[in-house]
Structure 1
Amino acid sequence: MNLLIQEQIAKVFTVHKGIPLFYIESGSRLWNIASPNSDYDVRGFHLQSQEQYYDFRKHRDVIEVMDGDFDFVSYDLDKMFGLLAQGNPNTYEWIRAHLIYFNALPDWSSFSKELTNHLNFSNLYYHYFSLAKTHWKLLASGNKFTYKVVFYCLRGLLSADIARQGILPELTVEKLFDQFDTNFPVLSMAKESLERKQQELETQEVAEAERGSMVRVIQEYMSSMESNQPRREDKAESLERMLREYNFQLKNQFYR
């Protein structure tokens, strides 16, 4: 499938102007929880063509393509680095992804390691906790109390808990589970929900009799985390300096 995805990426840049730089698999396939019918969520970034870059008019900074199960989003370099400078957790997941389809970046290993060292754990915590709360609202409303929603809520909470401790949450869900030393109700519930998902029962509604105890467990876990939130960090200056230097290096290489 890698070769097919690489061909799709190449096809995108026969239609859209730009220089492809870096593309990975995001979402459920990255987390190793994909269903047989899951899309390929390809994410990454590109350089604008020289014509676009030197043009006095501003060009769109995103390329988006949806073709069957090929879901492609590419940011131009300046937008991508702007998001990294802000500590955007989604883009840091892209940087950390192990499913890489295309990489034309020089000194990638050292650069990505440095980026990860600048990761803001408080941003990461609030990102995952916010994702969990979004799914929690669906559960609390009772309108979509499915195993899939339960799982996504719990994955967010578990990832937030690890980030709160100043540790990088693993992206693949099995490794995330292994970051906890002991089993406890939320972890057990997450494992059970994942098992249902793997059995293709993810859209199944949770039985009414089970919902009350699940809600209590989730509420208690969320409350304990809200009362012990991490301190906000500030690594902006050194991060911006590193991104600026690498940005210059890339443009000097590709636009010379």
Structure 2
Amino acid sequence: MMIDKLNNLAKDKKVSILYACESGSRAWGFASPDSDYDVRFVYTHPLDWYLSVSEKKDTIDIMDGDFDAVGWELRKKLRLLKKSNVPALEHLFSPITYIEESESIKELRAIAEDCFSPVACMYHYLSMSKKYEEKLTDKKVKLKSLFYALRTALAGKWILEHNTMPPVVFSKMLSLVKKDEEDEIRNLMAIKSENNESYLHSRNEKIIELITRVICTNEKYAKSLSGGNPDTDRIDSFLYKTLTK
């Protein structure tokens, strides 16, 4: 059904979809029963679209019930990757893909790994984890906010310890925490999977203290991280090759 929707969208917009994936909580592995399908995709236009001095719309946004789809034209996607934009990076490594032009996306992932900037991504995750940590002060909190804070905090911790892009699948980062913390987190994941996103759960002091501690460490060492190493010639060559084949 999802592939049919994407194919119809491509036909309607007169574009070619190179890649489409699931993002958000379904990709991360802690969706609620009422979580939306957050589809993200990369597309190209026919070549003549690019032969113009005029600026043109380079995104597609579709909201249809629980089908939330956002697409980026390939040139825009590459510009975002060059800046080490975290969502642009994460989408390429989603565990749930609907459309994938294998050879092109294999090279695009390699470009993304070159562009990955530990320091830029760390500051993105720090900003997000602090934003959601602020929502965890009441006696009862949304598990959605708890997991968003936890995921982004652990993503920063992963960068500090491994200097690589954090896994998209949240459970793969649980190697970073103690066994009793992991057990507590997995129990909360099970509860979240059975309750809607509006569900409020009693504060879990152990996990909230973990989040605060990790954020503090991430902030302390963020400035020591390195930048990315985008290869502009490689990026330009990939764009030309993809558009003209």
TM range (shorter): 0.7 to 0.9
Which one-letter code corresponds to 2:112 in the other structure?
Answer: L
Say whether residues 1:223 and 2:231 are aligned partners.
Answer: no
| Inter-partner Cα distance in structure 2 for 1:123 and 1:98 | 23
Q: Residue in 1 aligned with 2:233?
A: 241
Q: Equivalent residues in 2 for 1:1-256 (5 A)?
A: 4-104=1-101, 106-140=103-137, 142=138, 145-165=141-161, 166-177=163-174, 179-180=175-176, 182-183=178-179, 185=181, 187=182, 189-200=184-195, 203-207=198-202, 210=203, 215-236=208-229, 238-253=230-245
Counterpart of 1:90 in 2: which secondary structure?
helix
- Contact between 2:22 and 2:97, CA under 8 Å: does it hold in 1? yes
Q: CA deviation at 1:17?
A: 2.9
Q: Distance in 2 between matches of 1:235 and 1:225?
A: 18
RMSD: 2.6
Q: CA deviation at 1:224?
A: 2.7
> Contact conserved, 2:21 with 2:99, CA < 8 A, in 1?
yes
Instruction: For 1:184 and 1:121, locate their aligned partners in 2 and report how far apart those are by CA, in whole Å.
Output: 29
SS in 1 for 2:195: coil
> Based on CA coordinates, which of the two structures has the bigger radius of gyration?
1
The CA deviation at 1:114 is 4.5
Q: Distance in 1 between matches of 2:199 and 2:32?
A: 14
- Unaligned residue ranges in structure 1 (runs of 5+): none
User: Against the structure 1 CA distance between its residues 32 and 129, is the aligned structure 2 distance closer, same or farther, given a 3 Å change threshold?
Assistant: same
- Structure-2 separation of matches of 1:56 and 1:168: 36
CA 1:40/1:202 → structure 2, altered by over 3 Å: closer, same or farther? Answer: closer
Q: Distance in 2 between matches of 1:11 and 1:143?
A: 46
Instruction: Report the Cα offset of residue 229 of structure 1.
Output: 2.2
TM-score by length of 1: 0.83
- State how far apart, in whole Å, the 2-side matches of 1:242 and 1:230 are: 28
- Cα shift readout 1:6-50 (whole Å, capped 9, x = no counterpart): 110111122213222211111111112222322221112111233
- Aligned amino acid, residue 129 of structure 1: L
**Which is bigger in relative contact order (C-alpha 8 A, separation at least 6)?**
2
> Counterpart of 1:106 in 2: which secondary structure?
helix
CA contact (8 A) 1:161 1:225 kept: yes
Aligned-pair distance for 1:162?
0.6
CA distance in 2, matches of 1:129, 1:65: 29
CA contact (8 A) 1:24 1:100 kept: yes
How far, CA to CA, are the matches of 1:90 and 1:63 in structure 2? Answer: 16
* Structure 2 portions without partners, runs of 5+: none
In 2, Cα distance between the equivalents of 1:57 and 1:247?
19
Count of residue pairs brought into register by the alignment: 244
Cα-to-partner distance string for 1:199-253 (whole Å, 9 max, x where unaligned): 316533343xx466665443333223322225242334x4322211101111221
Q: Which amino acid aligns with 1:145?
A: V
Distance in 2 (CA, whole Å) between partners of 1:223 and 1:129 is: 9
Which SS does the other structure have where 2:121 is aligned? helix
1:193 positional shift: 2.9
Quick one: distance in 1 between partners of 2:98 and 2:184?
Answer: 33
Distance of 1:144 and 1:42 partners within structure 2: 30
Name the CA distance, whole Å, in 2 between partners of 1:181 and 1:28.
20
In structure 2, do the counterparts of structure 1 residues 195 and 38 end up closer, same or farther at CA, with 3 Å as the change threshold? same
